[in-house]
Chain A
Amino acid sequence: MSQKEKPSNKPFKQQNLKAWQPLFTPKVIISSFYLLGLSFLIIAIIVGAVGSSVKTYEARYDDKCTLNETCTVDIEIEEDLEGPVYLMYELTNYYQNHRRYAESRSNAQLMGNDVSWYQLEECIPRKTKDGKDDDLDQVYYPCGIIAFSHFNDSFSITESGTNLDFSDSDISWDSDSDKKFIKNDDPTGIVEVEDVSNQHFIVWMRTAAFPTFRKLYSKTSSDLKKGIKQIQIDNQYPSNQYDGEKRIIITNKCYYGGNNRFLAVAYGIVSGLLFLVATIFTFKHIKSKPKPCQLAWRNF
């Protein structure tokens, strides 16, 4: 009914804790806009400059090669590439991020665990060979449509007939090959689809977030001299079935990875915007007379 106990005089309870009250004053806002604009400009320049050292050479091959045959595509490297140099493939119009596709896998199975049928639930529609839900004898290993649609073109890079030293042994995440993709040596009654510990397979299983993506195929730590390189392609993957393009790419990297032009441009534009806004604010502040009763400290 009513408060009978005298409340204690704690600042928390009395709501009078000491506090900092920030204000959007011209001094703070305009100067921080200038500062932020300046730092963004610097970032833009650095990102742009560092990124320009990256050279990328690419060639589309799905239109040049016929399916299920080997063919050779030439790529001209215009200047020497400092190692490591990466060989990548690119797919377009490929929805690895489709709701139906991206989740069709069993992480437990991929980790080499002995699985029961409910752990494979998400592999539908590629779970068992005979289509029965709980028939463990007929389970695909690995199950799911990501594994089922594994990209199976293969590439080797040669220069005037000699194979270049590109290796595919270390192209996946270390964490993936160590913990997440472990071959179960004794899978009982299982229909094997793919070698789980295959590096290309592990890379494939890292699904891409957008329908155009690149995946690493092989790499070399040594430099790549300029000149025309031939790439031998075993063209197996039916990309024309889904109107997709296939490309092969040779690239090196800079300090922060690939040449991210968008970042450089975006930082540049935002920096410009910040300067613009700051300038407008400055003019507005100087020009606008303090209104009656506007406070003295507004004129800094």
Chain B
Amino acid sequence: MRRKKKETLRRVFANNSESNDRYINNKVTNSKYHWWSFLPINLWEQFGRFMNQYFLIIATLQLWTEIAPVDPKTIWGPLSFIFLLSAIKSGLDDLNRHRVDKKANERIFHVIRDCEPRDVMSKNIRVGDIIYLKENMESPCDLVLLSSSNKDGSCYIQTANLDGETDLKTRVALKGTRVLNSQGLLSQFKGLIECKPPNPEIYLFDSRLKMETNDTDEDFLSLSVKQTIFQGVHLKNTKFIYGLSVYTGNETKLGMNKLPPESKWTKIDRQINNMTIVIFCIQFLLVLSLGALGSLWKSKEGKKKFYLYYPRDEEWYQFLIIPLRFLLLISLMIPISVKVTLDICKSLYALFINWDLKMWDYDNNIGAYANNTSISEDLGQIEYIFSDKTGTLTENIMEFKKCSIAGISYGNKHKHSSALKDPRLCKAIKNQQPEVILFFLNLALNNTIVPIKIKNKDRIAVNSSFSQEDSRYDDISVVENSKKIDIAIDYDSNDDSDDDVNVGSDEDEILLKLDHSGETKKKDKNLDSLNEHQVKNESGKQKKIIYKASSPDEEALVKAASTMGIEFVERETKTLTLIFNLHDAKSGRNKIKRQYELIKTLNFTSDRKRMSVLIKEIGTQEIYLFIKGADDEIFKRLDPQTDEALLEKTKNDVENFARKGLRTLLFGYRAVTGKELKRFLKEYKTANNEIEGRERELEKIFHKFEQNFHLLGATAIEDKLQDQVPETIRILREAGIKIWMLTGDKYSTSLQISKACNLIPHNGIVYKIEGGEQIAVEKCIKAIFQKIAVNQQNYYLFIGGKTLEIALNSLKSKLIKLCINANSVICCRTTPQQKSKVVKMIKDLKKMTLAIGDGGNDVTMIQTAHIGVGIVGKEGLQAVRASDYSISRFKFLLRLMLVHGRYSYYRTAFIVQYSFYKAIFFCVIQIIYNFWSGFSGISFFNSMSVMTYNGIFTAFPIFFYLHDKDVSEELIYLNPQLYLDSSKGRFFNKKTLFWWFVRAVYQGAITMLFLAFIFKDRDYLYAMDGSGADQALISMTGFTAVLLLQTFTLALETKHWTLYNHLIIWGFLIFYYLSSLLANSLPNFEMYYAMFRTFSDPIHWLACLLINVVAQLPVIIAKYWSSQYTPTRADLIREKEVYYRSNGLPINIAHKSKKKNLIYSKIIPSYNSSDFGNNGIFDPIRDCFGKRDFKRMNKKDPLTRLIKDNIENELLKKHNELHSITQTNSKNSSFNHLKIVETDDDYYFLSGNSQSMFSTSSTSSSFQDNEMMI
């Protein structure tokens, strides 16, 4: 049944099940386990992880009582709990998958197999079955469309399951098969399809079909994606289709794409892993040395002690016992709970992101969402952001603004005026200037838009016959998505080239066929009546047609044409209908319907950067090739004889438009002769029949054909910047993050947008790397290096796609050097692959990267970066599906990173380090105690204590550390530099780890030594009955002291005490006392009554107090000293915040200015004029942030140095201004209250009284949105 050999070419025979037998059936399995294989597979998976293996070995060793230091329950309990938890989780998931699979596999389908119709269950469908699919049904396997209920063989499908796009796409059956639309005909069908073996390419289906299996002719018809209906796709707006199944089961495109996404590891995860390995090594050394000591003691001392009853002859394995005991004793050093704790915490971070109202988009009612719940702390570590332009920085709402036709620029009065209102253009239209008409004709025809007629009651009444037809389009949301970059060129194979007769025939014949199509005629009639209707209702209803487009640019263009009177009203597979709403002198009518035959669409791809349509006007039989595209593409393809002046003029205009930040497109046309057309179609057909390399061949033909255009003109479309983009970028910059823009758009537009959105300051130095070949690029880079060496200034870099490719391939190291030092890099005209290559280049430098985008062309980049952020935009859901986080506006990125990212990192860093600290601390006590027990590997604490210490008393109280903040949210916005704390990893690095380690060892040693000195002392006597100190008593006292110490450690580290923190931290201490008293009142427990005795013993309390104070004293001293004398930035800001709050001052001093904008004061630590040193230069970092911070910042990081310079410059500038203000103010003598002084449009300064002058500054311009900042 199953294929043994690797398949090279799949041959599918219709109505001949025997020959298709070797392919698998259509049983879809998404589930991982069967009921009988669940346990073994799941356990196998869980034990695949190193940590789990380690714990399992430890737990197994525990079963050997001779070496188990404590009751085996102490490790088996938590271990099985953890295993059970994750087994239940994957079990439930799988159960769900089973249910879904079963449902999918047992659907009944009507199929034709071996010339007979039959009903089969989905799982029994075979390759070669002809499947009957009705409207709204989901395709059970990959089909090749044979015919549909529509005569032209077309149907609509929705591919949401496959690629997440909810728009409808058309599929068209081959001309040869579309007549086979009944069971009778199809059961006679003996076709053969040859296709590639199963593969995951969902945009590629290069294969061919032969109508008759026995036909000896090598005459194949070519099939493409246009004829496919893949598994999981829904049939829409089509009554039924027949399709031949080619791939089944898990070999379908959907099945091949089902691979689970690669799980991402965060930086902290990697650090934890490294740390675990280090601790493992330390453990190993300890085990070896303690084991050796133990064996030594045993042979020197232990054997002499009769009371130990060592046997004379020992088993051979005895030498292992002591080391193994130590291994088990200190195995707790690697906390078993850390993974579970982290998983829980990370899920909660993700929920915090999902819950965040401040990232809620009130306009569209979409919130932020974490698709990946395990990487939130990486959001706090980002050093580079790669952003898409359109739809990410901009709104992607396009508005037709200006145009230039035949060298005349319209709408150029001022920046915001629209060409559509330009009287000159109206006049030109009225006069029916041929270039103008052709220009708008191009606009109206050269697109992939589907006009949709809105049903309304008036029209139904007039024209009931039409409405039925019409309903087909009713719920089409978006039709035909042309901007999908990954699509291999999407050909219209439904045209007549399939058919020899047609290729041979001339235009007349093509037209004849069209004219005889019944449907077209019917349409005509309908259209006529519609026209009449429209005339009748001229004044009443204007908008009867809406345009659904995947590309907002196209929509804007078609709308513009419509406004100017050339209205695109209907698209059929081959016919485009326009209504000319012009005054026609000849007919006297206002509206003329014209139809055009669409011979061919040469689609837009981001590689081609152009699109053309081959159009024949029905009636005049004139054939035109209309082209539109990026300026460089079009200028290349113009008629060499084009008027120089016109060319110059248009180039100028385009340049002008682009400078205004508008998106420009150029338009051209040429007439095509019948001969030319014939030749083209023939070449096209041959190329289209290739299975391998079809795209390349086609591209060649297109390139040859798209030449010698007459220039029509250019359009300029405005794409508005999104809300608060410049501010967001400014703050992200200040946070030490480099922002690069990677766009498919052209240089001038990119430059304009990047200036508008603050990526490049208006006077910024911009270098552009140019050159079409390696030598030129190399030269250019060299020149830039020289300039940089001379200028020593911040600079910005521009790279075009082609140059980028060359530089990436052969000049990578130089490019990297140039890019890293640049303030920002903008890559224009890039393909998706280039985008991801750029991201990869930076990622390889071990920098943390984040890519943000909204469209399908950003998917690869989003997947490449450490963190991918998708913007829920207008270009489908591809980017969002691929992303780790989805947000709806660019500005929310700020909150996502600065607040959620930083906090997540801050909290995770603490929780991880604390988990290891408390485990090591505990083990240190155990180890030291063994020095008094002859290194015998005994546990100081009893089993119950060991189990509850890690499992309960230290695991739960850290839970509400999840609400901890070192500084509040507002202050992070106001001091974006705080982000450096997390991006430079200041909360979790070798140094912090070292100090936690020292702390653990010190505190553990203090605890054990003090206990020993207090109770070992010969004078200890229990006050009530004179008993001596016994092990149970001391270990219970020790455990109480340990828990007190942990509670206070947590209390010391918590900086943000909410009610929950109080409840859980103190609550668990009280819980400990109560529960231990309870446990001690049960005689079956080992430590029965010990607790009552310790609590009534004053020595116990004195010991706990002493141990805690001595253990915490150095910590408190260090904390106080560093916060006081070498404070970090966060320390200072926090201090100021607390001061402000306790004095009832608002943290963000807001003031409503004349512009009604909120001004936010920037609480960098205050300074007053006397603070500026001798030379009057104020070094904010050295003086404000303390020497340590300064040194740290200066040390090795060019980035921080750069930021420091920036801050310095900025502050110096402000200082000078402030100086002038204070001088003027001092003339007015006293001012005790705060004052707002307006210096210029952008900066406001706030001066306080002389005792504490809080200098504040901020850009006022557009923090209108209170929501965002507070």
**Footprint of B on A, CB under 8 Å?**
1-9, 12-26, 29, 36, 40, 43, 47, 51, 54, 56, 84, 86, 88, 90, 94-103, 107, 111, 121-122, 124-126, 145, 148-149, 170-176, 179-180, 203, 206-216, 219, 238, 241-243, 251, 253-263, 266-267, 270, 273-274, 277, 281, 284-285, 288, 291-298
Contact B1056 A173, beta carbon cutoff 8 Å: no
Cα distance A207–B1251 in the bound complex, in angstroms: 67
Q: Given A21-B1057, A24-B1124, A90-B1018, does the pair A208, B1029 have CB atoms closer than 8 Å?
A: yes
Q: Point out the residues of chain A lying under 8 angstroms from B1056, CB to CB.
A: 19, 21
B355 on the A face (CB < 8 A): yes
Within B964-999, the residues touching A (CB, 8 Å) are 965, 969
Q: Point out the residues of chain A lying under 8 angstroms from B1137, CB to CB.
A: 21
* CB-nearest residue of chain A to B1136: A295
Contact B306 A238, beta carbon cutoff 8 Å: yes
Contact B937 A99, beta carbon cutoff 8 Å: yes
Q: Point out the residues of chain A lying under 8 angstroms from B368, CB to CB.
A: 2-3
Q: Given A1-B371, A257-B1023, A267-B1106, does the pair A14, B356 have CB atoms closer than 8 Å?
A: yes
Cα distance A70–B534 in the bound complex, in angstroms: 131
B705 on the A face (CB < 8 A): no
Contact B1019 A259, beta carbon cutoff 8 Å: yes
Select B357's contact among A14, A25, A43, A270, beta carbons within 8 Å.
A14
Contact B1014 A263, beta carbon cutoff 8 Å: yes
Query: A247 → chain B, closest Cβ, in Å?
Result: 9
Q: Point out the residues of chain B lying under 8 angstroms from A86, CB to CB.
A: 1021, 1026
Q: Point out the residues of chain A lying under 8 angstroms from B533, CB to CB.
A: none
Select B365's contact among A4, A18, A124, A258, beta carbons within 8 Å.
A4
Contact B1124 A295, beta carbon cutoff 8 Å: no
Select A17's contact among B307, B903, B1060, beta carbons within 8 Å.
B1060
B311 on the A face (CB < 8 A): yes
Q: Point out the residues of chain B lying under 8 angstroms from A297, CB to CB.
A: 1139
Between-chain CB contacts (< 8 Å), 19 pairs: A4-B366, A40-B1109, A99-B933, A102-B1031, A122-B65, A171-B1026, A172-B1027, A173-B1027, A180-B1083, A209-B1029, A209-B1035, A215-B1028, A253-B1023, A255-B1023, A258-B1017, A260-B1020, A263-B1014, A266-B1013, A292-B1183
Cα distance A51–B1099 in the bound complex, in angstroms: 12
* CB-nearest residue of chain A to B1060: A17
B1098 on the A face (CB < 8 A): yes
Select B1058's contact among A18, A255, A256, A270, beta carbons within 8 Å.
A18
Q: Point out the residues of chain B lying under 8 angstroms from A180, CB to CB.
A: 1083, 1088
Contact A98 B933, beta carbon cutoff 8 Å: yes
Q: Given A24-B1120, A99-B325, does the pair A209, B308 have CB atoms closer than 8 Å?
A: no
Contact B1031 A3, beta carbon cutoff 8 Å: no
Query: A91 → chain B, closest Cβ, in Å?
Result: 10
Query: A228 → chain B, closest Cβ, in Å?
Result: 22
Cα distance A244–B77 in the bound complex, in angstroms: 41
* CB-nearest residue of chain B to A256: B1098
Contact B1017 A260, beta carbon cutoff 8 Å: yes
* CB-nearest residue of chain A to B294: A99
Within B417-447, the residues touching A (CB, 8 Å) are none
Select A206's contact among B309, B310, B936, B1030, beta carbons within 8 Å.
B1030
Query: A58 → chain B, closest Cβ, in Å?
Result: 8
Cα distance A174–B1024 in the bound complex, in angstroms: 11
Contact B1184 A293, beta carbon cutoff 8 Å: yes
Contact B1123 A24, beta carbon cutoff 8 Å: yes
Contact B1031 A23, beta carbon cutoff 8 Å: no
Most buried by B among A40, A149, A260, A296: A260
A23-B1138, A242-B307 given; name 12 further pairs at CB < 8 Å.
A1-B881, A2-B888, A6-B357, A12-B963, A103-B938, A148-B309, A210-B932, A210-B1015, A254-B1023, A270-B1106, A270-B1109, A274-B1113
Query: A42 → chain B, closest Cβ, in Å?
Result: 12
B41 on the A face (CB < 8 A): no
Annotate B503-539 by CB proximity to A: 1 below 8 A, 0 otherwise.
Answer: 0000000000000000000000000000000000000
Q: Point out the residues of chain B lying under 8 angstroms from A15, CB to CB.
A: 352, 903, 963, 965, 969
* CB-nearest residue of chain B to A108: B1084
Within B262-293, the residues touching A (CB, 8 Å) are none
Contact A209 B1015, beta carbon cutoff 8 Å: yes
Query: B1140 → chain A, closest Cβ, in Å?
Result: 10
Contact A97 B1102, beta carbon cutoff 8 Å: no
Cα distance A25–B1138 in the bound complex, in angstroms: 11
B354 on the A face (CB < 8 A): yes
Q: Point out the residues of chain A lying under 8 angstroms from B304, CB to CB.
A: 241-243
Q: Point out the residues of chain B lying under 8 angstroms from A124, CB to CB.
A: 66
Contact B1099 A260, beta carbon cutoff 8 Å: yes
Cα distance A259–B1098 in the bound complex, in angstroms: 12
Q: Point out the residues of chain A lying under 8 angstroms from B1012, CB to CB.
A: 210
Contact B1013 A100, beta carbon cutoff 8 Å: no
Contact B1089 A216, beta carbon cutoff 8 Å: no
Q: Point out the residues of chain B lying under 8 angstroms from A17, CB to CB.
A: 963, 1058-1060
Cα distance A98–B321 in the bound complex, in angstroms: 14
Cα distance A231–B963 in the bound complex, in angstroms: 67
Contact B309 A126, beta carbon cutoff 8 Å: yes
